[in-house]
C-alpha cells in the first residue's frame, strides 16, 4: 500500500485514506505505526486537494474558453412588411 504518492491517482489516494481510517477505527494499528499512518494520511490529503484544484482549474478554463468563443447573438432581421422609414404607424 505504500506506493509512491507522486504517481498515485485520486482514486488510489482516497482508497488508501479509507483503508487507513478503517484500520485506525478497528484498532488494528499499533501506537508505533499510528504516527506513520497519520503522516501518510496528511500527504495523501494534500495530494487529493491538489488534484481537485487542478481539475477545477481545467474545468474553469474549458468553460471560460467556451464563453469566449460563443457567437454573438444575431440582431433580429428586419420584418418584410416594416415600412422603410422605421415607423409602424403614420
Q: What is the pLDDT of residue 90?
A: 47
pTM over 0.75: no
Domain chopping of the chain, boundaries: 5-67
What gap in Å lies between CA 15 and CA 6, rounded to an integer?
15
pLDDT of residue 87: 54
pLDDT in tens, 32-70: 899 999 999 999 999 999 999 999 999 999 888 877 765
**What average pLDDT does this structure show over 15-39?**
92
- Number of other CB atoms surrounding residue 8 within 10 Å: 18
Amino acid at each position: 500500500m505504500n506506493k509512491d504518492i507522486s504517481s498515485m491517482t485520486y482514486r488510489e489516494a482516497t482508497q488508501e485514506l479509507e483503508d487507513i481510517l478503517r484500520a485506525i477505527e478497528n484498532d488494528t494499528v499499533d501506537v508505533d505505526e499510528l504516527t506513520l499512518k497519520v503522516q501518510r494520511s496528511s500527504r495523501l490529503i494534500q495530494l487529493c486537494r491538489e488534484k481537485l484544484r487542478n481539475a477545477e482549474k481545467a474545468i474553469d478554463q474549458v468553460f471560460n474558453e467556451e464563453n469566449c468563443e460563443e457567437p454573438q447573438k444575431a440582431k433580429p432581421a428586419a420584418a418584410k412588411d416594416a415600412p422603410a422609414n422605421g415607423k409602424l404607424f403614420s
